[in-house]
Amino acid sequence: MTISVLVIDDSATMRAILMSRLSNEPDISVVGTAANAAEGRELIKCLDPDVVTLDIEMPGMNGLDFLEKLMQLRPTPVIVVSGSTEAGNNVTARALALGAVHCYAKCDRSGGLPLDDNGRLANLIREAAQVRFSKPAPAPTSQPASATIDASRARLIAIGASTGGVEALQVLLRDFGPDCPPTVVVQHVHARFAPAIAQTLDQTSGAKVQLAEPDLPLRPGHVYLAPGDRHLSIGGTASFHTKLRDGELVSGHRPSVDVLFYSVARTLGPQAVGVLLTGMGSDGAEGLLAMSRAGAPTIAQDEASCTVFGMPRAAIALGAAQAVMPLQRIAGQLLGSRRARLAS
């Protein structure tokens, strides 16, 4: 099956480059191009593309406003195409929080614009084409025997996410506050965008969200996000701290959710809780199983509220998730019983 793509970018040069990068892909067809949001809106109505690539720094209606309206009226998998400036990174982070499923950097680290990106854009499009948007169900359609967990004594919350994860994290973390346990997060994202994503999440959460750095002490009321190009793990005995390292891809990723979850299982055992959110593939499933076997409560996001059910599905298939629930219920499970215990 051929994936139809609409390219929206105000630069004729960039439209040509994106088309060139996709021209040799037998399963991808660029069915149209648009120079602004107005043209893009009409072509989406006419062509009904599987995936849209969207420049968010455009004249007229900017990409963020266009994306917000699109996700409300006609949810479509969108890949944000961003420049290399700090402002562009910040806007891209906000776009991911609005529902864009991926971000694609126009330039490499040196600021250049090579004609060959080793198939990265094509792979992002293939992943985005698998996204199916649906309204969240009021309750999970299937779940293990235990639909709840007791996280009241957790000293740490560990979270993994991928495709659709920035939007999901924004929903989850808005209920976190100064009393939440230290929380560590691996979100699959290009390293260039990680600082802006941390900043965006920090603006909507009652907890302090920041990028993880080597040997940071884990403090209540703080959320530590993996920087995007290094594995994040947890070390320590009586007190705990973040660890960062380079290395090979694990489960296809760096940072890897599995790396984080395995370290939490070894270091904290039953004193932690693990959460696996929306995402493509299976990263985090084995690690969540290790956490469960170590005595930690574990949660997987349910299918109805996931952008992509791949990672949670893999965890459920392994028996790693002690509870499966909609995104909107997870924060209550993580924090509600803890707050009740502290208040008693």
* CB burial string 178-205: b at 16+ within 10 A, e below: eebbbbbbbbbbbebbbbbbbbbbeeeb
Q: Are 54 and 63 in contact (CB under 8 A)?
A: yes
Q: Is 283 a catalytic residue?
A: yes
Rounded to whole angstroms, the Cα distance separating 227 from 254 reads 10
- Catalytic-labelled residue, pool 231, 283, 302, 305: 283
Rounded to whole angstroms, the Cα distance separating 257 from 191 reads 15
- Catalytic-labelled residue, pool 102, 188, 222, 231: 188
| Sequence-ordered strand ranges (E) for 163-316 | 183-187, 208-211, 222-225, 231-236, 240-245, 272-276, 298-301
Which strand (E) or helix (H) includes residue 285? helix 285-293
Tokens for 12? 């004729």
Tokens for 193? 């965008």
- Catalytic-labelled residue, pool 4, 162, 256, 292: 162
Local structure of 242: helix, strand or coil: strand
Q: Is 190 a catalytic residue?
A: no
Rounded to whole angstroms, the Cα distance separating 64 from 302 reads 28
Tokens for 138? 């009021």
Q: What does DSSP assign to residue 200?
A: H
Q: Is 11 a catalytic residue?
A: no
Q: Is the peptide bond before 195 cis (omega within 30 degrees of 0)?
A: no
CA angle 257, 156, 226 (to 5 degrees): 35
Rounded to whole angstroms, the Cα distance separating 47 from 34 reads 12
* CB burial string 137-159: b at 16+ within 10 A, e below: eeebeebeeeebbebbebebbbb
Q: Which residues form the catalytic set? A: 162, 188, 283
